[in-house]
A and B are shown apart, each in its own frame.
Chain A
Amino acid sequence: MMLLLPLQYEFFRNGLLAAVIVGALCGFIGVYVVLRRMSYIGHGLSHAIFGGAVLSYLIDIDFFFGAGLWALVCAVLIHLISHRRLVGADAAIGVVTTSSFAIGVAIVSTYRSFTRNIEAALFGNILGITPRDLWVVSAIALVVAGALVMIRRQLLFSTFDPEVAAAYGISTGRVDLVFVILLAVTVLASTQILGVTLVAAAIVIPPVIARYLTRSFHALLFLSPLLGATSGAAGMYLSFYLDISSAATIVLTLAAIFIALELARALRRRLRPAALSGA
């Protein structure tokens, strides 16, 4: 009964669905993001997309199209710079994404008759999701998940040991590029829902939690999206009953699970020596 109550509202149903889809998608791609040590890139890309969002408002084209194109450009730039090996991937991401964010801010401040809501880009819009948003996000989720499944073998190999993967004939450069593009598209869809500031958490926390629970890669690939989706749903419900902003609650739900597991581990470690000495 308690669970059905908020479902009578369309905004809640749409938000719930979007949170589940985005949670699962972020959890899925997050597995590779974390194992490739690219956590920072999710954060960076979401900020980079801000620049694209502003630009697409400015020239009055669709957000998904404009910001999507922009995110792709940023992703390719990051890829190119980090593969030149002159600077590390983290520095490349820093340069590209912060300057992209700055372009957004610059435009907002120069184009003085700027009449759009930048806050929506920064904080997401989970309670105002239109059926069209839902379709776009679902389509993006399907395409990204499908592509990840298609390249799963190359992706796993080049994530696990890139040098050997190259020796086995995998063009690791191309795999990296495809992956960063998929990530950019994921971040784009999620930014619209969760907002620039919270996307990175949705990508990074589920796989980190899942790693506590399994040591098998394939189990990880199921667990992490499951965690993302569940905490998306749980976060929406919690935010309804606790009366807190939804996107933040979703991320806090994930963080709470993470902290609980971390505490449980610490406790077990502390108890174990005692048990041994007692025996």
Chain B
Amino acid sequence: MSREHNFLKHAHGSLHPHGVEEPPARHAPAPLLELSGVSSGYGPAPAIEDIALKIWPGEFVAVVGPNGGGKTTLLRTILGAVRPALGKVLLRGKEVTGAALEKIGYVPQLETIDWDFPIAVEEVILMGLYRKNHWLRPVSKQDRAKLQAVMERLNLAGLGKRHIRELSGGQQQAVFLARALMGEPELILLDEPTAGLDIRSRDDVIHFLHEINHQGVAIVITAHDLNWVAAHLPWAVCLNRRVIAEGRPQDIFTPEVLRQTYRGDMVVFLHDGMIMIGERPHAS
């Protein structure tokens, strides 16, 4: 089945496409993470409402949607940092608690980091081990070896003693990803991993995210750039308080879905087999 065919079929199809070709991960016996009927948020009105979502082992999913649409709240709810007002978050069938959390890594938006904090690269990465290192236990040889391995995996070898500010944007993202990897998670959540990065750094980021994903770690990211998502990721969720649509980008990035998600007009077209999304020009 060609991409073009698929897109054409679903560009005018239903918002919740069924029976489409799913990524291989979706055929695993049980979902890694399951949200059912989840409402959550800080104030009286929930930021996300009635969310039903399954993340499968080894999956790579982008959550897209407008600012204030609840993307970060969704991530924080999965992490257990925000308790859902309604519904359940299950990790491998169990509710997310302290023990289950060890399986989830989290990478915050780089903007939230205090870049003046006097801290070196490896000091940040070693934070990821804090759960295993009780107060008496110094950093062991195995920990060091693991640190080296993770840093090599993310092309950070030799940068351990540098201050975090001295790195490129892609490397900075890699540092925080490395911290998440130290706990050997089954799932990593990244909040806007490409925000504020130049094209080169974005390429780096998607490159190492894919690599980690191929090694079996499920990844959920939030993202703004729909074209970037469509070009690189196999699965997307459109979120604006509720799940508007879920599926392969080329299937769900339809003018109708995007209008509902962003409350704005967009054009979607195919170019050399790639879908392109843009704002609809006003004057014509």
Contacts and interface: CB of A to CB of B under 8 A. Distances in A.
Interface stretch (B119-127, B145-153, B214-222): B119-127
A156 B127 contact: yes
B223 interface: no
Contacts of A151: 135
Interface string B129-172: 01101010000000000000000000000000101000000000
Contact of A166 (B81, B112, B120, B133): B81
Contacts of A216: 118-120, 123, 161, 163
27 contacts: A35-B117, A35-B118, A149-B135, A150-B135, A152-B135, A153-B127, A153-B130, A153-B133, A156-B123, A157-B130, A160-B114, A161-B108, A163-B81, A163-B108, A163-B112, A167-B76, A167-B79, A167-B80, A167-B81, A167-B106, A168-B101, A169-B102, A211-B118, A216-B120, A216-B161, A216-B163, A220-B118
B117 A169 contact: no
Interface of A: 35, 149-154, 156-157, 160-161, 163-164, 166-170, 211, 214-218, 220
B98 interface: yes
A160 B244 CA distance: 36
Nearest to B189: A167
B174 to A, nearest CB: 16
A217 B135 CA distance: 17
Contacts of A150: 135
Contacts, number: 64
Given A153-B135, A161-B108, A168-B106, 12 more contacts: A150-B135, A153-B133, A156-B123, A156-B127, A160-B114, A160-B127, A161-B113, A168-B130, A168-B131, A215-B163, A216-B120, A216-B161
B81 A217 contact: no
Nearest to B104: A167
Interface string B72-113: 000010011100000000000000001001100010100011
A132 B74 CA distance: 57
A167 B108 CA distance: 10
A215 B79 CA distance: 31
A76 B135 CA distance: 24
A212 to B, nearest CB: 10
Nearest to B101: A169
Interface in B61-79: 76, 79
Q: Report, nearest first, the 4 A-B pairs whose CB atoms are least far apart.
A: A215-B163, A150-B135, A153-B130, A167-B79
B119 A169 contact: no
A160 B116 CA distance: 10
Contacts of B124: 160
Given A149-B135, A151-B135, A160-B127, A214 B113 contact: no
B133 A215 contact: no
